[in-house]
């Protein structure tokens, strides 16, 4: 077992001296069928991305494929996602299963416009007309500790599957979660494969977003300690085989100012060092972000600062494996040496007679990018990228139906504009996403 795993477990044991053990969830198990649930999620997704300067040949998920040299992408698709979760059998050790089944149907796309990651690409270079996938886990529970093996969605600060396209990513491996101590949550796991947004295979290689397919497995262990509702502290460690070791510390605190006012702080710090064969290049980075949110009534304003250290940039595993504040709709603002600021405004229209409607506007600016000294085994090296800068503006509106036959139906519109200097990796982009979701609980 790696040192970071032992250290995190030691912290959990230390916390136990000042915390109260929780009642056993397993002792309250009603049975495999009695505690089971089955939910459906219907999702329609329209995605339009226009690279204003023509073709884009950058790294990671944005890179052009043959036939996309014009840089214009437009697709629409419909997905049905079914999720079954069994209860646990009674006894000291409870057993159960979770399963999922996804179906995707292309509504529009192809003809050189593909590349949004909504649909798998067939052998003819065109998106599939329909596709499906299924998977699940077997699970056992002792007291408040659950061990799972199989394929599922999950997320934590060092690795995570994403849900930003039609069908979500999944990962295959072991997953352990434990809440034996009040206020302390333990999380550990080991995965060997991922299923990407535009794939129906359960054994795809692990994807590092910018460097590509690097490393055959990733392990992690972490804990979150929440002594009060307003405060939480997180520590994680992870290792990607022959690539890097990464450590994470996070703090979230909210101060209640009364009269429907609050002030919140969110700090995220990563330390990454290459290891083994260093397949993503030499890395020795400390990267961090700090966000402060002031909320009053229906309004909230957030100010965030993010800093990427050294020459390597900040790469990550899985679409949601980054908790830095300025990772937004299109860009992550994670290039070598980059400094970035964010200003965000949120408005809840319930106070103005429209419950269920929320609005958001956000602006992020990054500068001081220098990719000339990055290792070319990673995804950030560019001999001409010195003193680069860029900015992104996001607008979003979301409405959730509050009652009636369509209760919980949601409509979401997301708009992004990104502009960068001549050698900034993300290019000039206009983007529109329209997402409609309708969840149904059938069991």
- The pLDDT score that the predictor gives to residue 208 is 85
Length of the chain, please?
443
* pLDDT, tens only, 193-238: 989 888 888 777 787 888 887 778 999 999 999 999 999 999 999 9
Q: What is the mean pLDDT of the chain?
A: 89
Mean pLDDT in residue range 151-179: 94
Number of domains in the chain: 1
What is the Cβ-side half-sphere exposure of residue 133, based on CA atoms within 13 angstroms?
24
Phi-psi region of 78 (alpha: psi -120 to 50; beta: other; left: phi over 0): beta
CA 87 – CA 331 distance, rounded (Å): 40
The reported pTM is 0.90
Task: Give the model's confidence band at 57: pLDDT under 50 very low, under 70 low, under 90 confident, else very high.
Answer: very low
* pLDDT, tens only, 394-430: 999 999 999 999 999 999 999 999 999 988 989 899 9
* pLDDT, tens only, 103-120: 999 998 877 788 889 999
- The pLDDT score that the predictor gives to residue 104 is 96
Say if residue 298's pLDDT is above 70. Answer: yes
Angle in degrees, CA 367, 390, 294, rounded to 5: 80
Q: Which residue segment(s) compose the domain that 193 sits in? A: 3-441
CA 287 – CA 337 distance, rounded (Å): 10
What is the Cβ-side half-sphere exposure of residue 430, based on CA atoms within 13 angstroms?
5
Say if residue 386's pLDDT is above 70. Answer: yes
Determine contact, residues 411/432, Cβ cutoff 8 Å. no
Alpha-carbon distances, residue 272 vs 44, 278, 401 (angstroms): 38, 12, 43
CATH number at residue 70: 2.40.160.10
Determine contact, residues 310/341, Cβ cutoff 8 Å. no
Three-state DSSP state, 380: coil
């Amino acid at each position: 077992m790696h040192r970071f795993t032992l250290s995190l477990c030691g912290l959990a044991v230390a916390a136990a001296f000042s915390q109260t053990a929780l009642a056993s969830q397993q002792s309250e198990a009603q049975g495999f069928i009695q505690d089971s649930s089955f939910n459906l999620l219907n999702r329609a997704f329209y995605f339009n991305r226009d690279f204003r300067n023509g073709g884009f040949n950058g790294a990671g998920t944005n890179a052009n494929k043959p036939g996309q040299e014009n840089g214009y992408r437009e697709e629409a698709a419909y997905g049905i996602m079914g999720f079954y979760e069994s209860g646990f059998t009674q006894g000291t050790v409870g057993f159960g299963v979770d399963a999922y089944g996804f179906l995707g149907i292309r509504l529009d796309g192809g003809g050189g416009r593909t590349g949004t990651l909504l649909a798998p690409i067939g052998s003819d270079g065109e998106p599939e007309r329909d596709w499906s996938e299924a998977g699940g886990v077997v699970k056992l529970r002792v007291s408040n500790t659950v061990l799972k093996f199989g394929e599922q969605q999950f997320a934590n600060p060092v690795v995570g599957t994403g849900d930003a396209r039609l069908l979500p990513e999944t990962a295959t491996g072991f997953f352990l979660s434990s809440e034996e101590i009040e206020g302390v949550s333990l999380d550990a796991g080991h995965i060997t494969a991922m299923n990407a947004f535009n794939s129906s295979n359960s054994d795809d290689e692990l994807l590092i977003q910018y460097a590509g397919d690097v490393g055959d497995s990733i392990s992690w262990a972490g804990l979150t300690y929440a002594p009060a509702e307003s405060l939480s502290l997180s520590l994680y460690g992870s290792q990607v085989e022959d690539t890097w070791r990464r450590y994470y510390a996070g703090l979230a605190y909210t101060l209640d100012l009364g009269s429907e006012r609050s002030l919140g702080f969110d700090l995220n710090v990563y330390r990454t060092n290459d290891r083994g064969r260093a397949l993503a290049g030499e890395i020795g980075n400390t990267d961090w972000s700090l966000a402060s949110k002031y909320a009053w009534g229906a309004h909230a304003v957030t100010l965030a600062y993010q800093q990427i250290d050294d020459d390597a940039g900040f790469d990550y595993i899985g679409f949601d494996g980054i908790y830095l504040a300025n990772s937004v709709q299109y860009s992550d603002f994670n290039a070598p040496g980059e400094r970035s600021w964010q200003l965000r405004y949120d408005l809840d229209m319930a106070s103005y007679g429209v419950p269920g409607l929320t609005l958001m506007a956000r602006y992020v600016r990054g500068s001081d990018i220098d990719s000339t000294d990055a290792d070319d085994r990673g995804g950030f090296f560019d001999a001409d990228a010195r003193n680069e800068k860029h900015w992104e503006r996001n607008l979003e509106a979301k409405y959730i139906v509050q009652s009636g036959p369509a209760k919980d139906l949601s409509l979401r519109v997301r708009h992004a504009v990104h502009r960068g200097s001549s050698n900034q990796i993300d290019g000039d982009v206009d983007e529109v996403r329209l997402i409609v979701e309708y969840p149904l609980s059938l069991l």
